[in-house]
Amino acid sequence: MTAEPTDEALMLAYAHGDVIAFEQLYKRHRGTLYRFLLRSLKQRADADELFQETWSRAISARERYRPDAKFTTWLLQIAHNLVIDRFRRSRPMASADETDAVFRELDAPESEQPERVLSEFEQRRKLQLALEEMPEEQRVAFLLRVENGMGLEEIGDITGAGRETVKSRLRYALARIRTRFES
């Protein structure tokens, strides 16, 4: 039983003119990339646009691809840069005061945050709302983790942030989700 080729092998094959290899690669990562973009941008039109742009850039850069980096990391880097550019054009970044307010809430003792038992439907709904309200950097980091299964180092490589910055962003993202659940 032959093992399926890795993402890196398929990308190299495509770089040498194998379009079938690219189709395989595309089938593997089309869903996760699209959902990352859709939930990062929250607008389907924006997600469709950046989805095609991401793959277009990957196709153009096929000859520059080096297998020392994971393909998914490389692909998500392209997507992330597009998302950030779109964020910077359309939405101002969260101010420092807003961020501090979030942290203070998150730092409240557990006794002051009663937990309520929520139905699964309500949990999904609140998570969705939390993602939509989350700052872009936190959301991207959170999505790269839960949607694409990236680790701290990989998220750092994709976003260009350090390991600790990534951890901090993830904490903040989780705090917002909890706040939404408890509201």
Partner 1 sequence: MSTRNDRDLDDLLGEDSGRVGALYRKLSRSDPPRRLDRNVIAEASRAVHGRPRGPRWLLGVGAAAGVLLAAGIAWRVNHDMNQQREAAPMSVPASPAANVDAPAPNVIRVEPRESAEPTPMQQDEAKFSERADAKPERNSATVAKPHQEAAAPRVTPGAAPILRKAEQAKQKLDRGFVADPAETQSASATEDDNAKLRERRRDAPAATPQTAAPMRDNEAESSAAAQLRADEPSASAADSASMTEPVGAGRAAAKTMTTLDAVAAEIERIRQLLGNGRRDEARAALHRLREQNPDLVLPDDLRDLAR
Binding site for partner 1 (CB under 8 A): 14, 17, 19, 22-23, 26, 30-31, 34-35, 38, 48, 51-52, 55-56, 59-60, 62, 106-107, 110, 120, 123-124, 127-128, 145-147, 149, 151-152, 167, 170-171, 174-175, 177-178
CB closer to partner 1, 37 vs 87:
37
Q: How far is the CB of 97 from partner 1 (least distance, A)?
A: 20
Q: How far is the CB of 153 from partner 1 (least distance, A)?
A: 11
CB closer to partner 1, 84 vs 174:
174
Q: How far is the CB of 66 from partner 1 (least distance, A)?
A: 18
Q: How far is the CB of 92 from partner 1 (least distance, A)?
A: 26
Q: How far is the CB of 1 from partner 1 (least distance, A)?
A: 26
CB closer to partner 1, 59 vs 93:
59
Longest dimension (CA), the chain: 61
CB closer to partner 1, 83 vs 175:
175
CB closer to partner 1, 52 vs 88:
52
Q: How far is the CB of 169 from partner 1 (least distance, A)?
A: 10
> To 10 degrees, what angle do helices 136-146 and 120-133 make?
130
CB closer to partner 1, 16 vs 92:
16
Q: Which residues of 118-153 are buried (b: 16+ CB within 10 A; e: fewer)?
A: eeeeeeeebeeebbeebbbbbbbbbbbbebbebebe
> How crowded is the C-beta side of 150, counted as CA atoms within 13 Å?
31
